[in-house]
Every structure is written in C-alpha cells, then in structure tokens.
Amino acid sequence: MRSQIIAIIVTALALAFAGCGNNPIGGVSATDSAGPAPEGGAQLWAENCSRCHNLQPPQRYSNAQWDVVVLHMRQRANLTGQDARLITRFLQASN
C-alpha cells in the first residue's frame, strides 16, 4: 500500500514539474490549442500555470493525468476549486 502511494506521488510530481524550466521548446499559448474550451479555463490556465511553467500542449497528457496534475498544482498554486475545475475542463476538452 505504501509503495503505491509513493508511486502516485512520484508520478504526480513528475507530471507537475515536466513543464518547468526556462526553455520555451514545445511551449504553447492558451490560444494555440484547438477545440472547445470551457469559459475562462484557457485564461486561468495561461495566467496561473505560466507563472512557473512553460505551457505545454494540452494534448501532452491524458484526461486522467490532467486530473492528477491539476489536483496537485491546485495546492501549490493556491487555486480555488472552481478555478481548478475550469482549468481541468479546458485541458481535457483539448484532448
């Protein structure tokens, strides 16, 4: 059980920090992604996530992976539940 929890935490951290760094290679803006986006999710994603990360294409991760990443980053970025839900919906709608 403990090893499963550690594996989940390590996976979440790896996904969360995958976009860290100063290299804009592969980075995108909120307007680069295709598909319908929930109102405000794209803007929240761009404003909050770009403070620490180079924005990655939303298609980089699966819907399940985005659930984990946003849940983890909600704590670190001090996002409200509503903001986290909008960001998650935007990212998942782009898949």
Res. 19: pLDDT tops 90: no
Give 49-61 pLDDT, tens digit per residue: 999 999 889 999 9
pLDDT recorded at residue 77: 93
Domain locations in the chain? 2-20+27-93
pLDDT recorded at residue 15: 54
Is residue 32 within 8 Å of residue 68, measured between CB atoms?
no
Q: Average pLDDT of 41-45?
A: 94
Is residue 77 within 8 Å of residue 50, measured between CB atoms?
no
**Weakest mean pLDDT among 21-30, 65-74, 86-95:** 21-30
pLDDT recorded at residue 38: 53
